[in-house]
C-alpha cells in the first residue's frame, strides 16, 4: 500500500542543541535504513521549511502508524497521511516500489 506522508517538524526553541543534534542523527539513520529496505520510497524536502513529503510502501496502515510513531522526531511532528491509488491515466505499470 502506498501512502503520501507530509511531515512538519517543530523542535522547541529552547531545546538543548546537543539533544537536537542527537535526535536528528537518529532520525537520519532510521530514515536511511527504511529507504534501503524499500518502505520509505521517496523523501523530499519542502523548500524553506523544516518539513518533508514522502511516499511509503507498507503492508498496512497499522504498519505505517508504527513506523511513523517510532521516528525519533515523532513527538515534534505534525503528520498528514493520504492513501494513494493508481491513476487511470498513469503510463507507468509499476503500482508499488521495487520492494
Domain count, the chain: 1
Identify whether 70 is part of a domain.
yes
Structure-derived torsion over alpha carbons of residues 53, 58, 64, 68, reported in degrees to the nearest 10:
-50
Identify whether 59 is part of a domain.
yes
What are the distances in angstroms from CA 80 to CA 1, 23, 53, 90? 16, 21, 10, 24
- pLDDT tens-place string over residues 74-89: 999 999 999 999 889 9
Q: Which of 37, 21, 27 is CA-nearest to residue 75?
A: 27
Is residue 99's pLDDT more than 90?
A: no
Identify whether 95 is part of a domain.
no
Strand-pairing partners, residue 81, are: 5
- pLDDT tens-place string over residues 19-66: 999 999 999 999 999 999 999 999 999 999 999 999 999 999 999 999
Identify whether 91 is part of a domain.
no
Identify whether 93 is part of a domain.
no
* CATH value at residue 57: 3.30.70.1060
Identify whether 92 is part of a domain.
no
Parent domain of 48:
2-84
Tell me the backbone φ, ψ of residue 6, rounded to 5 degrees. -105, 125
In this predicted structure, what is the pLDDT of residue 95?
A: 57
Identify whether 23 is part of a domain.
yes
Amino acid at each position: 500500500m502506498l501512502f503520501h506522508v507530509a511531515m512538519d517538524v517543530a523542535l522547541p526553541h529552547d531545546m538543548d542543541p546537543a539533544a537536537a543534534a542527537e535526535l536528528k542523527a537518529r532520525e537520519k539513520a532510521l530514515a536511511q535504513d527504511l529507504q534501503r529496505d524499500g518502505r520509505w520510497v521517496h523523501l523530499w524536502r519542502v523548500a524553506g521549511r523544516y518539513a518533508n513529503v514522502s511516499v511509503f510502501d507498507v503492508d498496512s496502515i497499522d504498519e505505517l502508524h508504527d513506523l511513523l510513531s517510532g521516528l525519533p522526531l515523532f513527538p515534534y511532528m505534525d503528520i498528514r497521511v493520504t492513501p494513494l491509488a493508481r491513476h487511470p491515466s498513469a503510463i507507468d505499470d509499476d503500482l508499488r516500489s521495487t520492494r
